[in-house]
């Protein structure tokens, strides 16, 4: 999830078999391997857990009468496809797609795997649907901005903030999240973005204590940055850990901790600038 801009994932194919078409007349392992490596790169990049990745890829391979073995590394996937009872094997290594977390892509790609398994759609059709899924994921950024603003304001309420605190948190969140969209859109490093956004949001969130207008100023500043907490990476990390994908779990956890550290640094800087004590 690091760089926000999408870049093409690179696949490196190791050619072992020279046959373009499988002798059994079906799909050749190389084609399927190339497809699966891109499929995996997008699925993992859009924030799927390792267990889902394994299940979906095995399901697709099964449907085409192949076996697949894969190694999931934090930033790369190795895919080996072979046909049971034959010596031909194809391996592809692909970089995990650097894209924003998208449960929409995750859902559509999971559904595609069932389309292949249950409806027996052709390989060409599967490829066509795949291309469509990865290019059709659009979102109205203003709507997201509005929803995030409302969400963080109601979060403030959950922690016991009053109406003034909610309003201040809403302003702080709207400004911070708008800045986040703007900076990520320009290709800024996500860690810098977190630092800057939490700094801006915490300064705006400190309005309450600066002018003493509400009864719960400490809640206002405390919740003003919570929209930045990387919740999904934390959840994915622990999910991978439960399924014994320790390397991915550790990597996702480290990513999330680094982002949380950036967030805290921005918050602490904002608070000390405004002379608001947290402890």
Partner 1 sequence: MILQILQDALFAAIAAIGFAAISRPPRRAYLYCAIIAAVGHSTRFIMMHEQFFSMNIVLATFLASFFVGSLAVFLSPVARTPAETCLFPALLPMIPGIYAYKSFGGLAMCIFGNDESSFSHYFYLFAQNGLTCLFILLGMVIGATIPIFIFKKVSFQATR
Q: Which residues bind partner 1 (CB under 8 A)?
A: 47, 49, 52, 55, 100-108, 110-111, 113-114, 118, 137, 139, 143-144, 147-152, 154-155, 157-159, 222-223, 225-227, 229, 231-232, 234-236, 238-239, 241-242, 260-261, 263-265, 267-268, 278-279
Are 177 and 197 in contact by the 8 Å Cβ rule? The answer is yes
Quote the least distance from Cβ 173 to partner 1, whole Å.
9
Rank residues 196 and 232 by Cβ distance to partner 1 and give the closer one: 232
Task: Supply 106's token pair.
Answer: 């995750």
Burial of 103 (0-12, 13-18, 19+ CB in 10 A): exposed
Minimum CB–partner distance for residue 20 and partner 1 (Å)? 33
69, β-bridge pairs: 80
Which tokens go with 14? 């190791």
Identify which of residues 114 and 211 has a Cβ nearer to partner 1 in the complex.
114
Smallest distance, partner 1 to C-beta of residue 117, A: 8
128 Rama class: left (phi>0) / alpha (psi -120 to 50) / beta: alpha
Task: Give the shortest CB-112-to-partner 1 separation in angstroms.
Answer: 9
Min. distance of Cβ 9 from partner 1 in angstroms?
A: 19
Whose Cβ is closer to partner 1: residue 12's or residue 147's?
147
Closer of 142 and 211 to partner 1 (Cβ) = 142
Q: Which residues fall within 8 angstroms of residue 92, CB to CB, at 6 or more apart?
A: 11, 12, 13, 14, 33, 34, 36, 37, 78, 79
């Amino acid at each position: 999830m690091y760089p926000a801009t999408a870049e093409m994932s690179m696949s490196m194919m190791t050619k072992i078999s020279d046959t373009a078409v499988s002798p059994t007349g079906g799909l050749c392992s190389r084609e399927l391997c190339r497809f699966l490596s891109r499929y995996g790169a997008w699925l993992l990049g859009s924030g799927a857990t390792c267990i889902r990745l394994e299940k979906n890829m095995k399901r697709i391979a099964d449907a085409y009468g192949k076996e697949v073995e894969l190694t999931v590394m934090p930033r790369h996937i190795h895919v080996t496809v072979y046909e049971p009872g034959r010596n031909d094997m194809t391996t592809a290594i692909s970089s995990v797609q650097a894209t924003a977390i998208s449960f929409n892509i995750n859902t559509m790609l999971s559904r595609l795997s069932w389309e292949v398994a249950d409806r027996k759609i052709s390989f060409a059709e599967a490829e066509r649907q795949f291309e469509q899924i990865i290019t059709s994921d659009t979102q109205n950024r203003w709507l997201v901005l509005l929803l995030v603003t409302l969400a963080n304001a109601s979060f403030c309420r959950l922690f016991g903030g009053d109406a003034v605190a909610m309003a201040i948190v809403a302003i702080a969140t709207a400004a911070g999240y708008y800045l986040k969209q703007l900076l990520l859109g320009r290709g800024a490093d996500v860690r810098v973005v977190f630092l800057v956004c939490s700094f801006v949001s915490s300064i705006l969130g400190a309005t309450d204590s600066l002018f003493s207008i509400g009864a719960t100023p400490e809640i206002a500043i405390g919740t003003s940055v919570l929209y930045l907490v990387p919740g999904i990476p934390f959840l994915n990390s622990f999910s991978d850990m439960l399924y014994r994908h320790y390397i991915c779990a550790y990597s996702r956890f480290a990513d999330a901790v680094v982002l949380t550290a950036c967030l805290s640094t921005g918050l602490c800087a904002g608070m000390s600038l405004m002379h608001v004590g947290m402890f």
